[in-house]
């Protein structure tokens, strides 16, 4: 992620020692992304090197963070491959560093696959279904903070930066999504905690005997309670499309959905509304990229994503409706 807040080695060392994670041996700021400050840190403990991610949260508050961190802990305890937040002696998961909330999680093995094939998509689909089932009994709740309410607030803010055709598309789609939210079938969608941002760069893979082995989902800091179908739509709008054109990739989409349903069958309402929710997921990320591109915050390592990509995805989804 981008580095907004500089953390010294001494400050990082003090937190790691409080968490009894060993002596700091290496520390590197992470470039890319736009939401939080992240550092890769390594420690020496009991003669072994251990790797962690230290995150300072630039937008999320101390009050909001327990939902995300306890959700990750809940999933990790149920065998879902996600970063496991480290607690201090009091059992706390959120700490203060440079006046901002911070957390430390174990660093996942492997690397992201930015050019996935059907096998990668199948692994993501099956693991996502398992994650949804594992999170079904998570006791805490928080809405998807980048859901419909945020779309309604954000569209007026980005409209001045759009040409007439873009403005017409974004207003038309927002109207459609507001109508969809009142439909009985929408109310029937199964719900629970969702990742809500499970792109290719938020999944790690290792290789085992020449086959991809999914080693983890990470970056849960857009998670919230929403329809599980929204999570599916977000994934399919990234894993199962051609990145250059935004057009769907049928083979990868089939692999993803088949693997997901091997773990959890979709309801009739989910089958009915998948195309509509895919449109909403495209709108959500077009909006956030417009916001970050035209109304950015300063950061020492900031790379805003191209808003035009999800405009293309949305146009593809609307044309197929």
Instruction: Write out pLDDT tens, residues 240-274.
Output: 999 999 999 999 999 999 999 999 999 999 999 99
pLDDT at 153: 98
Same fold, 9-106 and 118-320: no
Could you tell me the residue ranges of all domains in the chain?
Answer: 9-106, 118-320
Indicate if the pLDDT at residue 90 is higher than 90. yes
pLDDT (mean) for 87-91: 95
- Report domain 9-106's class: alpha beta
Indicate if the pLDDT at residue 126 is higher than 50. yes
Predicted confidence band of residue 301 (pLDDT cuts 50, 70, 90): very low
Q: Are 221 and 35 in contact (CB under 8 A)?
A: yes
Tokens 């999570």, residue located = 231
Closest CA to 8 of 50, 52, 41: 41
pLDDT at 302: 55
Tell me the C-alpha distance between 140 and 273, whole Å: 27
In Å, what is the CA distance from 76 to each residue of 80, 130, 226, 234? 5, 12, 20, 22
pLDDT at 98: 95
Tell me the C-alpha distance between 27 and 317, whole Å: 42
pLDDT (mean) for 124-146: 97
pLDDT at 1: 46
169: exposed, middle or buried (Cβ count in 10 Å: 0-12, 13-18, 19+)? middle
Tell me the C-alpha distance between 294 and 309, whole Å: 15
Indicate if the pLDDT at residue 299 is higher than 60. no
Predicted confidence band of residue 182 (pLDDT cuts 50, 70, 90): very high
Fill in the DSSP letter of residue 46. T
Closest CA to 106 of 31, 44, 71, 54: 54
pLDDT at 35: 79
Q: Please, what sign has the CA dihedral across residues 247, 285, 195, 27? A: positive
Predicted confidence band of residue 296 (pLDDT cuts 50, 70, 90): confident
Please tell me which residue, 34 or 66, carries the higher pLDDT value.
66
CATH 3.40.50.300 fits 118-320, yes or no: no
Prediction pTM value:
0.93
Tell me the C-alpha distance between 24 and 41, whole Å: 7
Indicate if the pLDDT at residue 84 is higher than 70. yes
Kind and range of the H or E run holding 226: strand 224-227
Indicate if the pLDDT at residue 94 is higher than 50. yes
Tell me the C-alpha distance between 105 and 21, whole Å: 11
Q: What confidence tens digit (pLDDT) does each residue in 1-33 have?
A: 466 899 999 999 999 999 999 999 999 998 755
In percent, the amount of the chain with pLDDT more than 70 equals: 96
Predicted confidence band of residue 59 (pLDDT cuts 50, 70, 90): confident
Indicate if the pLDDT at residue 88 is higher than 80. yes
């Amino acid at each position: 992620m981008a580095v907004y807040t500089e953390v010294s080695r001494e400050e990082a060392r003090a937190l790691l020692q409080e968490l009894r994670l060993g002596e700091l041996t290496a520390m590197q700021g992470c470039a890319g992304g736009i939401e939080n400050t992240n550092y890769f840190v390594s420690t020496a403990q009991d003669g072994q090197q251990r790797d962690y991610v230290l995150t300072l949260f630039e937008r999320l508050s101390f009050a909001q963070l327990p939902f995300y961190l306890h959700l990750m802990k809940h999933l990790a305890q149920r065998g879902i491959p996600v970063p496991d937040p480290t607690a201090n002696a009091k059992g706390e998961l959120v700490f203060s560093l440079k006046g901002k909330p911070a957390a430390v999680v174990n660093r996942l093995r492997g690397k992201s696959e930015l050019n996935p094939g059907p096998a990668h998509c199948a692994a993501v689909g099956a693991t996502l279904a398992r994650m949804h089932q594992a999170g079904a009994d998570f006791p805490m709740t928080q809405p998807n903070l980048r859901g419909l309410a945020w779309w309604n607030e954000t569209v007026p803010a980005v409209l001045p930066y759009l040409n007439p055709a873009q403005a017409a598309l974004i207003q038309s789609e927002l109207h459609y999504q507001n109508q969809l939210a009142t439909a009985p079938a929408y109310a029937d969608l199964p719900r629970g905690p969702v990742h809500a941002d499970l792109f290719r760069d938020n999944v790690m893979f290792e290789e085992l005997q020449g086959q991809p082995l999914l080693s983890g989902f990470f970056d849960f800091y857009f998670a919230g309670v929403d329809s599980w179908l929204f999570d599916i739509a977000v994934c399919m709008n990234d894993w199962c499309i051609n990145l250059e054109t935004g057009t769907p990739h049928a083979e990868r989409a089939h692999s993803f959905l088949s693997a997901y349903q091997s773990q959890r069958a979709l309801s009739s309402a989910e089958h009915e509304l998948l195309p509509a929710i895919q449109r909403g997921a495209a709108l959500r990320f077009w909006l956030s990229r417009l916001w970050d591109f035209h109304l950015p915050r300063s950061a020492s390592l900031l790379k805003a994503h191209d808003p035009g990509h999800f405009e293309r995805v949305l146009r593809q989804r609307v044309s197929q409706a």
